[in-house]
Amino acid sequence: MADVSPHSASQPLDGSSSSSSLSTSNKSSDYIITATQTYIARSATILGAQNLISNGKSLIKVNVTIHGNYGSFIHIGRYCLIDEDVVLMPSVVPRSSDPLLAVVDRTSANYNKNPQPPGENEKALPLIIGSHTQIASNSHIQSISIGSNVKIGRNCILMPRTKVHDNCIIEDDTVVPPDMVVPPYSRVRGNPGRIVGALPECWGGEFVDECVQDYLTFVRSLEVG
């Protein structure tokens, strides 16, 4: 487990916007560097940091919120980018199928603005993010799993219990509806999101290189600054 401490200082070929925050001015004093070389912005809010696992060499940018306080693990692979104002939140499900149990409607737009930890009749599921995956700014993630080599655009919402397999693109402003499973090599767009095309087999290798270079470029920008 990465040494993440609780803190809060509170047109490309792929068709989605490139991340602008990598080219903005950054200072090393604005980031915490873990033992595994993950950079976490001091303005990020990590709730329940003991439940955040990072494999290392990832970027968690300004004003990110990670809800590890739901009691389940959030796992981030290597060379990932969690861009500015992104929210990572585990899916919450009922502990039982009993229809009489009181549970919160977590699929409404209002819930995204006022999230609540699991109630006594609910439990949170782990959120697993693979390696070489980028989540662009202002996106809200409540998935069960996001694979490796996945690019999620700006202003996206991935609703509860969604799964995105390896080598996918979720375009800007897409809303992936609850329980949707996105197959490998898919391009998803719209509200509600739907599969609009397939990616070439070379996509995975190309995006791996892009993610590594983005990380190295960011680290060099801090050293120069």
> The domain spanning residue 179 has which CATH number?
2.160.10.10
Asked if the structure places residue 15 within a domain, the reply is no
Asked if the structure places residue 54 within a domain, the reply is yes
Q: For position 4, what pLDDT does the model report?
A: 52
Asked if the structure places residue 146 within a domain, the reply is yes
CA distance to 71, 145, 205, 221, per residue, from 171 (Å): 30, 17, 19, 27
* Percentage of the chain modeled with pLDDT above 70: 79
Containing structural domain, residue 51: 21-224
Q: For position 106, what pLDDT does the model report?
A: 55
Give the total number of structural domains in the chain. 1
Alpha-carbon distance of 74 to 4, in angstroms, equals 12
Q: For position 15, what pLDDT does the model report?
A: 46
Asked if the structure places residue 8 within a domain, the reply is no
Asked if the structure places residue 90 within a domain, the reply is yes
Alpha-carbon distance of 208 to 172, in angstroms, equals 20
Asked if the structure places residue 3 within a domain, the reply is no
Residue-wise pLDDT for 96-146, tens only, equals 665 555 555 556 555 555 677 887 888 999 999 999 999 999 999 999 999
Segment 169-192 shows an average pLDDT of: 98
Report the mean per-residue pLDDT for the chain: 86
Asked if the structure places residue 5 within a domain, the reply is no
Contacts 24+ apart (CB under 8 A), 203-210: 203/14, 203/149, 203/167, 204/148, 204/149, 204/166, 204/167, 207/132, 207/149, 207/151, 207/167, 208/79, 208/132, 208/149
Tell me the whole-structure pTM to 2 decimals: 0.84
Asked if the structure places residue 159 within a domain, the reply is yes
